[in-house]
A and B are shown apart, each in its own frame.
Chain A
């Protein structure tokens, strides 16, 4: 494969910068993946579980002051689920990597119940691994942008890596063997799952 010196430098820089950009997240993903594999050793547990009931009229917590209600009651995270029960109660679940809070706004009584819990360290790392998507507070959206960078970075990382390898070690039989075996194995697994 013939690549000019300038193009080689550009590809090398893309390879380097795409990996350096995402190195913190990549480390977290690798560590948390191992923790998931050995989930018996790193069990997810909740702690500081609490259930409080506030005497509030549902009218007092409308959409306009919902944010201040969350702040006042120290509810972190973002809304991940909202259920409208047959009884007329509204249940909202807020989740962060640190824990969760489930808020039930009762229709028949002037009360709101907040059930919350924190996660242990394994749970926090586990949740960090699962955290994804845009929406919610600003920090979550910044994180979602970083996750997109991880996706693009990983793809660029591989494509540029293969080009660099072709430049450096294209006659290396071991390298070809590793690449081809990897391709055959992943293709076989994909093929089995798709066709059989």
Chain B
């Protein structure tokens, strides 16, 4: 294959994953330093009536209310709180947390929305696999994008190394970066 074609392929695969890689670079630093970006301010409160059966177990009740309200996200069982007439629970996804209060006497649910903010969502792309309950096609398609992005990263990486070895390789670079490569592998084995 011609070198110019390999360069084009390297560039095109690189451009395809550019924003994905940016998110991962940012996210790696965030996680390594345990930084927190999640905002916890309630920005919207609304109420509605649901037809959920209050007698069912907590998880079932939370899931049925979530389905009825068509909320995207996971229910958090460790945040369930129930007293005689009131049931509190949360639904969360990478961009938002919903705190719900269900009054079993009248079937009214109060929903408090807490958007996490841009930085938290940008960081959250690291964990996104498209499998959020009630997610629309756009979010579910992330699984395909992620698969392709990882494959493109692999292709771009190998092509980049091939082009370097073929056209620009210098002995000192081989020694320094080869040692770093082997050193990193040894470090990973030791950990």
Contacts and interface: CB of A to CB of B under 8 A. Distances in A.
Do A and B originate from a single complex? yes
A169 interface: yes
Given A132-B31, A155-B25, A185 B157 contact: no
Contacts of B150: 30, 33-34
Contacts of B16: 178, 182
B32 A157 contact: no
Interface in A149-196: 150-155, 157-158, 161-162, 164-165, 168-169, 172, 174-175, 178-179, 182-183, 185-186, 188-190, 192-195
A157 B17 CA distance: 11
A7 B29 CA distance: 27
B173 A178 contact: no
Interface in B146-191: 146-147, 150, 153-154, 157, 160-161, 164, 168, 173, 177, 180-181, 184-185, 187-188, 190-191
Contact of B7 (A20, A33, A168, A195): A168
Interface of B is mostly: helix
A37 B147 contact: yes
Contacts of B31: 132-133
B124 interface: yes
Interface stretch (A51-59, A112-120, A138-146): A138-146
Interface in A5-32: 16-17, 19-21, 23-28, 30
27 contacts: A16-B168, A21-B180, A23-B177, A24-B180, A24-B184, A24-B188, A37-B147, A128-B188, A131-B191, A132-B28, A133-B33, A143-B188, A146-B184, A147-B32, A148-B32, A154-B25, A155-B26, A157-B21, A161-B11, A164-B11, A175-B8, A175-B11, A189-B139, A190-B125, A192-B139, A193-B96, A194-B117
Given A134-B33, A175-B8, A182-B20, 11 more contacts: A20-B164, A132-B28, A139-B190, A139-B191, A143-B188, A158-B18, A161-B14, A182-B17, A186-B125, A192-B138, A193-B94
Interface of A: 16-17, 19-21, 23-28, 30, 33-34, 37, 96-98, 128, 131-134, 139-140, 142-144, 146-148, 150-155, 157-158, 161-162, 164-165, 168-169, 172, 174-175, 178-179, 182-183, 185-186, 188-190, 192-195
